[in-house]
Amino acid sequence: PAETLAVHIWKVNTEGVTPDAASISSGASAVLIVVILLFNLLARMLGRWLYKRMTATK
């Protein structure tokens, strides 16, 4: 219930009670990578916007 995606991936890899545990783990890993990439890109865009706004540069 209250776990992170990384903990879920670790749990699926270690317990592996389902026959398709490897594919579940791979899918969750892909989702985690995409979420991290989107977060980094959005944080960079927000940082650039704030920098331009605070320093009055174009």
Q: Which of 5-9, 18-22, 52-56 has the highest mean pLDDT?
A: 52-56
Domain boundaries, the chain: 5-55
The whole-number pLDDT of residue 52 equals 92
pLDDT in tens, 8-35: 888 888 887 888 888 888 888 899 899 9
Distance CA 12, CA 54 (A): 45
Does the pLDDT of residue 1 top 70, yes or no? no
| Main-chain dihedrals φ then ψ at residue 16, nearest 5 degrees | 50, 55
pLDDT in tens, 30-50: 998 999 999 999 999 999 999
The model's confidence at residue 54, banded by pLDDT at 50, 70 and 90, is very high
Residue with tokens 């545990």: 21
